[in-house]
Amino acid sequence: MKLVILSTFISFIIIFIIGPYFIPFLQRLKFGQSIREEGPQSHMVKSGTPTMGGLMILFAIILTSLLFITNRTELFVALIATIGFGIIGFIDDFIKIILKRNLGLKAYQKLLLQFAIAIFIAVYAANHQNIGTVLAVPFTNMLLDMNFLYIPFTIIFIVGFVNAVNLTDGLDGLASGASFFSAVFFVIASLYNGYYELALFAGSLVGACLGFLRYNIYPAKVFMGDTGSLALGGALISLAVLTRMELFFFIVGGLFLVEAASVIIQVSYFKISKGKRIFRMTPIHHHYELKGWHEKKVVRVFWLIAFLLAIIGYIALIINI
């Protein structure tokens, strides 16, 4: 437990220290965020705010994890997932910001890269003697053997939740705060289940989220960009897969699930109804903004939801034991 606290502290301090130097560096490079005209008008004042701050998150997680890594391959895989998805986000941000192509990577390009990483993780887990094709079932002491369905289920789970975390990154501090609560859950779950190196990795994720919130909370001094949101998604899904707790993440990561579901529902209904909408704007956090909620209120309410879902996940974990 002391080492987990230390990994959290080190990761937090890394971002806390480099932030005042790295953010002006992004400003000098003119890595400013472009705000979509079709988005909430209140966001237009954020135009030009430095983005790609997710590089700080990646640096903190990688450096902290390497300080504690031994010969256990699970931590290497968690790092590969985090770095891999972070690189996809970096390429996307680079194209949008440097090459001035607003949409970044094309959808099929992004999905191909994401599926490649997801296949690697799923195949690794399925063939690992301590993971295999079984999943822990929340609120029970059962293990569900997915057999031949494990790999396709895990691939879809990974790609789906990584993009769900990405969609959640739309308000100052929202994605980093929600990821913080999920990461705390995985610290506890990893310790309970004996995944001590993964607990250290989860601790580095907790510290990185806290450190980044110092600069990302409203009004944000820096945005994480796709670099950060995809890296956070990669870190969280790797923890879920490598601890056999994918089903738990449907509870703990429920906020991400709702954000993604709101987009799917909106797009589907728009096509079926020939132009009608259910929500004023999606992801759903924008719906509440357009209803008159201040951005800070939306974030606080969504943080509370993420916190409560993490508590429910903890209860499901205790009963499972």
pLDDT tens digits, one per residue of 118-128: 999 999 999 99
HSE at residue 125, side-chain half, CA atoms within 13 A, is 35
pLDDT of the residue at 49: 85
Which residues share a beta bridge with 293? Answer: none
pLDDT exceeds 60 at position 66: yes
Which residues share a beta bridge with 136? Answer: 143
pLDDT of the residue at 105: 87
pLDDT tens digits, one per residue of 251-272: 999 999 999 999 999 999 888 9
pLDDT tens digits, one per residue of 75-87: 999 999 999 999 9
- Per-residue pLDDT band at 227 (split at 50, 70, 90): very high
3-state DSSP call for residue 125?
Answer: helix
Known binding-site residues for Mg(2+) equal: 166, 226
pLDDT of the residue at 39: 56
- Per-residue pLDDT band at 309 (split at 50, 70, 90): very high
Of residues 74 and 12, more confidence is placed in: 12
pLDDT tens digits, one per residue of 123-171: 999 999 889 999 999 999 899 999 999 999 999 999 999 999 999 998 9
- What is the average pLDDT across 50-68? 93
Q: Is the Cβ–Cβ distance between 144 and 134 less than 8 Å?
A: yes
3-state DSSP call for residue 144?
Answer: strand
pLDDT tens digits, one per residue of 198-221: 999 999 999 999 999 999 999 999
- Per-residue pLDDT band at 41 (split at 50, 70, 90): low
Phi and psi torsions of 143, nearest 5°: -115, 125
First to last CA, the chain: 19
Which residues are within 8 A (CB) of 72 and not within 5 positions of it... i.e. 6 or more apart? 197
- The CA distance from 61 to 238, in Å, is 13
pLDDT exceeds 90 at position 43: no
- The CA distance from 300 to 298, in Å, is 6
Q: Is the Cβ–Cβ distance between 69 and 75 less than 8 Å?
A: yes
Known binding-site residues equal: 166, 226
- Per-residue pLDDT band at 33 (split at 50, 70, 90): low
pTM of the model: 0.94
DSSP structure class, residue 2: H
Which residues share a beta bridge with 135? Answer: 144
pLDDT of the residue at 73: 81
Q: Is the Cβ–Cβ distance between 236 and 183 less than 8 Å?
A: yes
pLDDT exceeds 80 at position 176: yes
pLDDT tens digits, one per residue of 88-111: 999 999 888 877 666 778 889 999
